[in-house]
Amino acid sequence: MTTTVVVGGSFAGMTAAIQLKRKGKNEHRVILIDQSPLFLFIPSLIWVPFGRREMTDISFKKEAVLKKRGVEFVHAEALETDTKAQVVKTTQGNFKYDHLVVATGPKVNFDMVPGLARHSHYIGTPNGAMKLRKALEEFKQNPGPIVIGATQEAGCMGASYEFLFNLEKWLRDQKIRKKVDLYWVTPEDYLGHFGIDGMPLGESMLKAFMKLFNIHYRTGVGIKEVTTDSVILSTGEALPYKLTQLMPQFVGVDFVQNSPSLLANKNGLMPVDDTYRHPAIGNVWAAGVAVQVDAPFECKQVPYTVPKTGYPSDVTGKVVAKNILRLTKGNNKLIHKPWGHITGLCVMDAGKKEVIILSNRLFRPRVIALMIPNLLYDFVKVFIEKYFLWKSKRGYAWLP
Ligand SMILES: Cc1cc2nc3c(=O)[nH]c(=O)nc-3n(C[C@H](O)[C@H](O)[C@H](O)COP(=O)(O)OP(=O)(O)OC[C@H]3O[C@@H](n4cnc5c(N)ncnc54)[C@H](O)[C@@H]3O)c2cc1C
């Protein structure tokens, strides 16, 4: 019997755990440790501030799903691991493993910019989304300028673009759009770079959106400081705000950073080869946002990095499960799937409109690379949400 401990049970970890147990059957014991009892469909958080989704619409308890699939769930925070002793220490005791899968997602680095944690909002957590809902209610009574964007070193700019366009739509719905100067600030060298060196027509499409919706923008800028009333850019320009939302850098979680034997990089992200196995520790694996992915482009002005979205997180979870199964069966021919070669499949919601982003590979060179605007309604985004929640609630981790 091989025991695998998976730390983190979201897009990457839940997929890896269920697939491993499903294929490994009685020869594999799979333990999934997560500090949250809920599975949350994070991409729909962008709708929570506007009341389009409640938290209960986009989350469910994961224990029952995992149990049905034969995976043991431990509701605990993983504190550290000792890879020599092959043990994970948690708030609910220690767990020995033969294989370890790190699928812990990101920790948000709010400390990188003075004033960021204190004055700026963040859309990426349930708490952050609910705080924004409250802030918007207050904002309505006393509107003013808004600054939305991402800091230097950010990778998840797409989510901030989505929030921007949803917010612009909300301002119009509230009939206060004319009272608001709306700014977009981004480290990207050009609009629509997205940390993937753009897509054909992406920049011109985003420029057209900015013009159409009267959004001022600054590209290639970092954030020096967020004060009580201004966002100070790396260029020295101060943009006054009544409300601001900035996407910060993602680094590795404390569990990884507190485990020196994992040999994580300086940002606490997991080094892996393109089988998602640790290059120096043969029974340690990582999937999803926890993985270090090198940017395949040069940043011309300020640094930023690649987005690690849901689809590749799910795919890397599957690759890890398959490779552990192969190794335990004595098959050393592992599946290789470099991050940049994974199919690009993403939808950028733009407030009851959307842009569908499709490519045969995430990184250049690509043979197929399409950005398809849909100005009628965000059908595809809604469909993906419903489909993903449907498959995850049933534990159908083998589906795409
Ligand atoms: C606002 C926003 C919008 C987004 N929109 C999109 C989108 O439209 N499309 C898209 O494809 N992607 C989107 N993404 C990205 C997507 O959410 C991520 O790619 C995905 O969540 C990554 O999955 P993951 O399993 O690697 O990590 P996560 O989903 O972050 O999960 C990590 C899990 O690990 C657990 N964990 C962490 N540390 C510990 C510990 N020490 N002990 C125990 N458990 C721990 C956490 O509780 C969590 O359940 C968006 C992200 C954000 C923030």
Residue 339's nearest CA partner among 268, 272, 247 is: 272
Question: So what's the pLDDT on residue 247?
Answer: 98
Q: Report CA-CA distances (Å) from 285 to 7, 85, 323, 362.
A: 11, 16, 10, 21
Residues touching ligand 1 (Cβ under 6 Å) are 7-13, 33-36, 42-43, 45-46, 77-78, 103-106, 123-124, 156, 159, 253, 255, 288-290, 308-311, 313, 346
Mutate which of 6, 11, 257 for ligand 1 pocket (most atoms within 8 A of beta carbon): 11
H or E, element range at 60: strand 59-61
Task: Tell me the pLDDT band of 302, cut-offs 50, 70 and 90.
Answer: very high
Task: Tell me the pLDDT band of 395, cut-offs 50, 70 and 90.
Answer: very high
pLDDT, one tens digit per residue, over 89-125 is 999 999 999 999 999 999 999 999 999 999 999 999 9
Task: Tell me the pLDDT band of 318, cut-offs 50, 70 and 90.
Answer: very high
What phi, psi does 327 have (nearest 5°)?
Answer: -60, -40
Q: Tell me how far the alpha carbon of residue 143 lies from the centroid of ligand 1, in angstroms.
A: 32
Q: Tell me how far the alpha carbon of residue 105 lies from the centroid of ligand 1, in angstroms.
A: 5
Closest atom of ligand 1 relative to the 160 alpha carbon: 1
- pTM score over 0.95: yes
Question: So what's the pLDDT on residue 313?
Answer: 98
pLDDT, one tens digit per residue, over 140-198 is 999 999 999 999 999 999 999 999 999 999 999 999 999 999 999 999 999 999 999 99
Paired with 247 in beta bridges are 150
The mean pLDDT value for 339-351 works out to 96
Q: Tell me how far the alpha carbon of residue 11 lies from the centroid of ligand 1, in angstroms.
A: 7
Mean per-residue pLDDT of the chain: 98
H or E, element range at 379: helix 379-393
Question: So what's the pLDDT on residue 151?
Answer: 98
> Helix, strand or coil for residue 326?
helix
Closest atom of ligand 1 relative to the 247 alpha carbon: 53
Question: What is the token pair recorded at 11?
Answer: 């897009």
Closest atom of ligand 1 relative to the 287 alpha carbon: 26
Helix axes 310-328, 11-24, angle to 10 degrees: 30
Burial 299-334 (b: 16+ CB within 10 A, else e): beebebbbbbbbbbbbbbbbbbbbbbbebbeeeeeb
Domains plus CATH for the chain?
2-107+250-341 (3.50.50.60), 110-249 (3.50.50.60)
> Helix, strand or coil for residue 57?
helix
Q: Tell me how far the alpha carbon of residue 240 lies from the centroid of ligand 1, in angstroms.
A: 31
Task: Tell me the pLDDT band of 268, cut-offs 50, 70 and 90.
Answer: very high
pLDDT, one tens digit per residue, over 224-253 is 999 999 999 999 999 999 999 999 999 999
